[in-house]
Amino acid sequence: MHLRPFSYPVTKPYPFRWFTPLVIIGGLVLVVLFSLWTYPPNAYEMQSQTSLHPRETEKYKPPPPRLSWWYGDDLKAKCQPYELLVGSRFFTVNRGFLYTVDRVYRYDPQANINITVEESVSYLGDTLENCRPIKIIIGLGKDDSAEPPTFWISWIGESYFDLRATCAINTANGQHMWIEISTKKSGVAKDKFDYIIDHHRTQSFWWGAQLLNTYWFSLMQVLAQKGHFKDKNNGFYNRGRFTFNYNYDPNNIKSIRDVNFHDLGFYLVSSSRPHVVDDRYWRKNFNDASFTKIYNNPEHDMSSAITEASYFAKIAHSFLLADLGNPKLPNMLLEEEELRYFLSGRSININRLPNGTLSVIPSPKEDFAFLYMLPPPNSTLDQDLVPLNKSWDAFKDRFHKDSKLETKTATIYKQYSCSVPRRKSWGRIFVLVLVADLVLLQAAWRLLTLVAGILVERQAPTTAMTCSGCLGGNEDGRQEQIEMQSLISEDEGGQSQQR
More confident residue, 143 or 40: 143
Selection from 57, 122, 49, 116 nearest residue 88 by Cα:
122
Distance CA 457, CA 16 (A): 13
Reply yes or no on whether the pLDDT at 5 is more than 80.
no
Q: What is the pLDDT of residue 195?
A: 53
- SS3 at position 315: helix
Lowest pLDDT segment from 87-96, 214-223, 307-316, 454-463:
454-463
- Residue 135's pLDDT band (boundaries 50, 70, 90)? very high
Confidence of residue 365 (pLDDT cuts 50, 70, 90): low
Give the pLDDT confidence score for residue 109 in this predicted structure.
Answer: 60
Find, among 54, 123, 125, the residue nearest to 83 by Cα. 123
Compute the CA torsion angle 110, 111, 112, 114 (nearest 10 deg).
Answer: -120
CA 40 → CA 67, 68, 169, 213, 435, distances in Å?
A: 8, 9, 35, 56, 14
With CA atoms as reference, report the closest residue to 321 among 208, 452, 242, 481: 208
Lowest-confidence segment of 24-33, 81-90, 109-118, 233-242 by average pLDDT: 109-118
Q: Helix 303-323 vs helix 203-225: angle between axes, to the nearest 10 degrees? A: 160
Whether 156 has a pLDDT exceeding 90, the answer reads: no
- In this prediction, residues 318-343 reach a mean pLDDT of 92
Cα–Cα distance, 57 to 130 (Å, whole number): 25
pLDDT above 50 (res 367): yes
**Is the torsion defined by CA of 351, 352, 354, 358 positive or negative?**
positive
pLDDT at 261 over 60: yes
Give whole-number Cα distances, 447 to 27, 237, 436, in Å: 13, 97, 17
CA dihedral 403, 404, 407, 411 (to 10 degrees): -10
- Give a three-class secondary structure readout of 21-65: HHHHHHHHHHHHHHHHHHHHHHHEEEEEEEECCHHHHHCCCCCCH
DSSP symbol at 17 = T
- Cβ contact 140:154 at 8 Å: no
Residue closest to 105 by CA, chosen among 175, 184, 182: 175
Domain boundaries, the chain: 47-77+420-445, 82-416
Average of per-residue pLDDT across 146-162: 85
Name which residue leads in pLDDT, 21 or 412: 412
- Could you please report the per-residue DSSP string of 194-220? TTT--TTS-HHHHHHHHHHHHHHHHHH
Distance CA 392, CA 150 (A): 31
Check pLDDT > 60 for residue 318.
yes
Please give the pLDDT value at position 233. Answer: 67
What would the mean pLDDT of 331-358 be, rounded to a whole number? 83
Residue 462 has pLDDT above 80, yes or no: no
Give how far the C-alpha of residue 170 lies from the chain's centroid of Cα atoms, to the nearest Å: 12
The residue-averaged pLDDT of 231-254 equals 83
169-218: pLDDT as tens digits: 988 777 788 999 999 987 655 555 555 556 566 788 889 988 998 899 88
What is the reported pLDDT for 237?
A: 82
Residue 81 in 3-state DSSP? coil
Secondary structure (3-state) at 7: coil
- Could you tell me if 222 and 245 are in contact, meaning their C-beta atoms sit under 8 angstroms apart? no
pLDDT at 193: 53
Of 333, 319, 343, 359, which is closest to residue 393 (Cα–Cα)?
343
More confident residue, 450 or 199: 450
- pLDDT single digits (tens) 52-77: 889 888 888 776 655 555 666 677 88
Least confident of 39-48, 163-172, 178-187, 453-462: 453-462
Structure-derived torsion over alpha carbons of residues 78, 167, 186, 316, reported in degrees to the nearest 10: 120
- Binning pLDDT at 50, 70 and 90, where does residue 366 land? low
The per-residue b/e assignment along 272-304, b for 16 or more CB within 10 angstroms, e otherwise, is eeebebbbeebeeeeeeeebeebbbbeeebbbb
**Which pLDDT value is given to residue 100?**
96
| CA gap 104, 178 in Å, rounded | 6
- Bigger pLDDT: 115 vs 283: 283
Q: Name the range with the highest mean pLDDT among 62-66, 258-262, 280-284.
A: 258-262
**Do 356 and 401 meet the contact criterion of CB atoms below 8 Å apart?**
no
Say if residue 461's pLDDT is above 60: yes
Enclosing H/E stretch for 138:
strand 129-141
- Lowest-confidence region among 184-198, 282-296, 392-406: 184-198
Q: What is the pLDDT of residue 179?
A: 93
* CA 393 – CA 128 distance, rounded (Å): 34
Q: Is the pLDDT of residue 475 over 60?
A: no
Q: Is the dihedral of CA 438, 443, 446, 448 positive or negative?
A: negative
User: Is a pLDDT exceeding 50 seen at residue 487?
Assistant: no
Rounded Cα distance between 380 and 388, Å, is 16
- Do 442 and 434 touch, CB atoms closer than 8 A? no
Strand partners, 433: none
Over residues 406-414, the mean pLDDT reads: 91
Amino acid code (one letter) for 279 = D
pLDDT at 245 exceeding the cut of 90: yes
CA distance 410 to 97: 12
Give the list of residues 6+ apart from residue 173 with CB closer than 8 angstroms, or none: 122
